[in-house]
Structure 1
Amino acid sequence: MTGAPILLIEDTPSLRMVYESVLKNAGHVVRSEASAEAGLKAFKAARPPVVLLDLMLPDRDGLDLMEEMLALRPETAVIVVTANGSINKAVGAMRKGAHEFLVKPFDEQRFLAAVDNALRSVATIAPAAAGTPADRPPGEFIGRSEPMRKVYDRIRSAARSMATVFITGESGTGKELCAQAVHDLSNRARGPFVPINCGAIPSELLESEVFGHVKGSFTGAIADKPGAAASADGGTLFLDEICELDPNLQTKLLRFLQTSTIQPVGAARPRKVNVRIVCATNRDPQEAVRQGRFREDLYYRLHVVPIHLPPLRERGEDIAQIADMALERFAREEGRSFRAIDPEVRALFRNFRWPGNVRQLLNVMRNVVVLNDGTVVTRSMLPFEMHHLLETGTDAGGDGQPAVTLDGLVGRTLAEVERMVIEATLARHGGSVPKAARTLDVAASTLYRKIEGWKAP
């Protein structure tokens, strides 16, 4: 039993009666109206936490009404209801702040689940938002540049919704941090956050990793495995490198998004799960669709709330702030005495293009702290690869990428040479591991393992 009133705005009398009856039988207090004008008056008077809004109203466009209501009370969870032929309009509503959308016809269970999720969202997010400064970066993000402020606003808006979030940006810009922030600010924050990298797992194992398998379903399946989708039940499933997903699995993912059911490999029956999807890619997803590598219908199903993370070179003074925070943290972890960064190095950082973005900057700072002593970071302490790029006047961001010369390799260990070649290839391809793997003729999973190994203490 919830004491909160729910506002229902639906102009069709028969549907209004059905929706109202279902809600009241479930223990909800309901106020219903048949027009946009009456609905807006009720909204101002009753201040409902949840609004069920038909987008096709006789006296006003439902989308305009929703925008006015959210301008008055941004914390309201609006569930838009639309016919099958107006899904694009519903997606537009999600991008403008709607919490969820329902496509007619829908069953009673789906209807009540959407309302319950909306009520939980309002109850969970509103108190947290009240005690959080509006300009404080969400999650683990650092920096308050104007491009990032827009990202933070979009994260906070997306967190209030149940919509699928599609994160784009170059490698190393913080796409997983973004996904984690969306999860942490949502009403699913107490549920699991399960990340899976679609480009790091061999295609023959990916279905099992995502949807699970039962014992004996294939060679090596010695026990039941739930899979990432089942593990994320009640929380968020983060699909990184989504454009690397095998075409056959794209079809199964689309079915999962449409039905909210999964069927583990070898299982006789499907099962329902309650999962929110957040996905990310460092590719241009529309180009992947044009090239036939990514299903168009899956793209439109996933690309509901887009968030684009700007490259580090466009973030201005954020670069210095991230470098300072990294220096303090790594010096503490490594027991070093570093306290500051030389002004010359700061200027170099500000003008460098950072093809590997934040991940590259963090690697540079870790390298400096581990391999040097002192209190101030100077230019001479910067890694060899960065010196080479600076001296040749190139920035590793385009066709001017310098070739690795034999003079620069002689005297180094084989492991160092391998790392330099891999990092140079990654830089040439904008940090894309799959592209670098194709150039080096190795599996993407091999590169991911090596990169993770470099991070190990």
Structure 2
Amino acid sequence: MTEQPLLLVEDTPSLQLVYESVLRSAGHKVTCASDAASGLSKFKEIRPPVVLLDLMLPDRDGLDLMRDFLAIKPDAHVIVITANGSINKAVTAMRAGAHEFLVKPFDEQRFLAAIDNALAGAVLDGQPGAVTGDAQPPAEFIGSSEPMREVYAKIRSVARSMATVFITGESGTGKELCAQAVHDQSNRAHGPFIPLNCGAIPSELLESEVFGHVKGSFTGAISDKPGAAAQAHDGTLFLDEICELDLNLQSKLLRFLQTSTIQPVGATQSRKVNVRIICASNRDPLEEVRRGRFREDLYYRLHVVPIRMPPLRDRGEDVLTIADAALKRFSEEEGRSFGALSPEVATLFRRLNWPGNVRQLLNVIRHVVVLNDSPVVTRDMLPFELHHELEHKDEAPAVDVEKPRVTLDGLIGRTLAEVERLVIEETIASHDGSIPKAARVLDVSPSTLYRKIEAWKADSWKLR
């Protein structure tokens, strides 16, 4: 399979023998070393495209040895091997340049898949004209600001790995678009990309949505249903708003990550699946760990390669690039004649904070195009909220002004249920309709808000 031999650095004789046997049976050439000194010597001699490296070596720390390997041959793809209790060390290795990590014990399929992915990446990296971080944006991304160029470079770097990617960023910054780009540039691009919004599904249904269920396992289970994990077999499972998972389901997800097996609700047997996990959250996952709402062991398992999507206000001229592209696309769809933003609107767009980020900008452009028709977008065509936001920003009082005292006007005389509904609806409205943002402010799960909204809708239908 490979012209150049792989380098295996493993100090346990029995494991070295097993790994070597599996690799040779799969058609790979292998050179073995039992300690850091001989590993470094053989690396310099054969300059392998892929290295399998145990982080626990008798004469030296494996992480330091990996840094020496990458200093000699920066395009080498290092797969680190670690025990279950040292996942945080593997995460450190990934951030230091490792291509992938394997946690003992792992099965033969997982082992060989990691090797194949690393070899495929090594071949692509060695081709003339290989993609670099300076190339065009991946997928449907628009913009060339420095924060986004860093995102593009990280997407290309991690795409061909099996490492779990954890995407963070405010609502509307394009976290799902980022996940799709990682999938599209990976060796799994031919497989399915299955997104699942953990915050939009009631907690009692989430296990079924992720792992599936069998007929009759609970009320309403009228037939067998494959979960998102099974549907993503040989592809990518994207778990959006991962921090909304309750602790019980977090433990089941951790077991799935460790064993690559799923057991549908009501099933008596489990099955293996081959899935890459990408997750996202608009919360700080480490802060969620500190508050006891997210398992620390799951955090270290998922937070291997972090990608932070920058807010639109930090992307400079990207706001105009995105607006121009959206204006052209929406004008074609709606049969309008828009071609440009007026200088006044362009200046306004640069000054706004865009709390809803790219999603808010696209909604503004769509609003303008649907309700107007002109060659140029002028300020009077913009939604009222934008004028209000800019005026509010321009106020900037020079002296401290006492904040208005919160009153109960309009609430006295209402039932507690009515007060709760008013507070929830106002909070959602003040965050541009974002239920996850409103849930964060109210310190509840988004699924709680979705359930309440559905209940209100049901009540309104009963009154008709």
Determine the C-alpha separation between the residues in 2 that align with 1:99 and 1:446.
44
Q: How does 1:30-429 map to 2 (within 5 A)?
A: 30-58=30-58, 60-70=60-70, 73-122=73-122, 130=130, 134-393=134-393, 424-427=429-432
Q: Compute the displacement of 1:320 (Å).
A: 1.0
Q: Secondary structure of 1:86's match? A: helix
Q: 1:370 to 1:139 in 2, by over 3 A?
A: same
TM-score w.r.t. structure 1 length? 0.84
Q: Compute the displacement of 1:225 (Å).
A: 1.0
Determine the C-alpha separation between the residues in 1 that align with 2:227 and 2:137.
32
The aligned counterpart of 1:434 is 439
Q: 1:145 to 1:92 in 2, by over 3 A?
A: same
| Residue ranges of structure 2 left out of the alignment (5+ in a row) | 396-401, 407-424, 455-464
Q: 1:362 to 1:60 in 2, by over 3 A?
A: same
TM-score w.r.t. structure 2 length? 0.83
Count of residues in Structure 1 that have an aligned counterpart in Structure 2: 428
Determine the C-alpha separation between the residues in 1 that align with 2:3 and 2:224.
43
Determine the C-alpha separation between the residues in 2 that align with 1:400 and 1:195.
43
| Residue ranges of structure 1 left out of the alignment (5+ in a row) | 404-419, 449-457
Q: Secondary structure of 1:443's match? A: helix
Q: Secondary structure of 1:223's match? A: coil
The aligned counterpart of 2:462 is none
Determine the C-alpha separation between the residues in 1 that align with 2:83 and 2:293.
30
Which stretch of structure 1 is more off in the superposition, 187-196 or 432-441? 432-441
Determine the C-alpha separation between the residues in 2 that align with 1:192 and 1:245.
23
The aligned counterpart of 1:27 is 27
Contact 1:81 1:104 in 2 (8 A): yes
Determine the C-alpha separation between the residues in 1 that align with 2:428 and 2:387.
14
Contact 1:434 1:444 in 2 (8 A): no
Which stretch of structure 1 is more off in the superposition, 331-340 or 294-303? 294-303
Determine the C-alpha separation between the residues in 2 that align with 1:238 and 1:358.
20
Q: Deviations over 1:72-129 (max 9, x none)?
A: 5554332112244433221111222322222345454543343234334545676697
| Structure 2 residue identity aligned to 1:426 | H
Determine the C-alpha separation between the residues in 2 that align with 1:176 and 1:447.
24
Query: Is 2:411 the counterpart of 1:443?
Result: no
Contact 1:199 1:434 in 2 (8 A): no
Q: Compute the displacement of 1:13 (Å).
A: 4.3
Which stretch of structure 1 is more off in the superposition, 111-120 or 428-437? 428-437
Q: Secondary structure of 1:52's match? A: strand
Determine the C-alpha separation between the residues in 1 that align with 2:223 and 2:128.
41
Contact 1:233 1:274 in 2 (8 A): yes
Contact 1:50 1:78 in 2 (8 A): yes
Q: Secondary structure of 2:80's match? A: strand
Q: Compute the displacement of 1:63 (Å).
A: 2.0
Q: 1:223 to 1:429 in 2, by over 3 A?
A: closer
Q: 1:10 to 1:351 in 2, by over 3 A?
A: same
| Structure 2 residue identity aligned to 1:312 | L
Which stretch of structure 1 is more off in the superposition, 269-278 or 93-102? 93-102
Q: 1:293 to 1:440 in 2, by over 3 A?
A: closer
Contact 1:125 1:160 in 2 (8 A): no
Determine the C-alpha separation between the residues in 1 that align with 2:387 and 2:426.
15
Determine the C-alpha separation between the residues in 2 that align with 1:310 and 1:48.
37
Determine the C-alpha separation between the residues in 1 that align with 2:125 and 2:227.
29
Q: 1:3 to 1:108 in 2, by over 3 A?
A: same
Q: Compute the displacement of 1:166 (Å).
A: 0.9
Q: Deviations over 1:317-337 (max 9, x none)?
A: 111111111111111111111
Determine the C-alpha separation between the residues in 2 that align with 1:244 and 1:91.
23
Which stretch of structure 1 is more off in the superposition, 270-279 or 294-303? 294-303
What percent identity do the matched residue pairs reach? Answer: 69
Query: Is 2:21 the counterpart of 1:16?
Result: no
Contact 1:214 1:225 in 2 (8 A): yes
Calculate the aligned-residue CA RMSD, in Å: 3.2
| Structure 2 residue identity aligned to 1:362 | L
Q: Compute the displacement of 1:315 (Å).
A: 0.8
Determine the C-alpha separation between the residues in 2 that align with 1:204 and 1:38.
54
Determine the C-alpha separation between the residues in 2 that align with 1:128 and 1:361.
38
Determine the C-alpha separation between the residues in 2 that align with 1:2 and 1:113.
15
The aligned counterpart of 2:419 is none
Q: Compute the displacement of 1:338 (Å).
A: 0.6
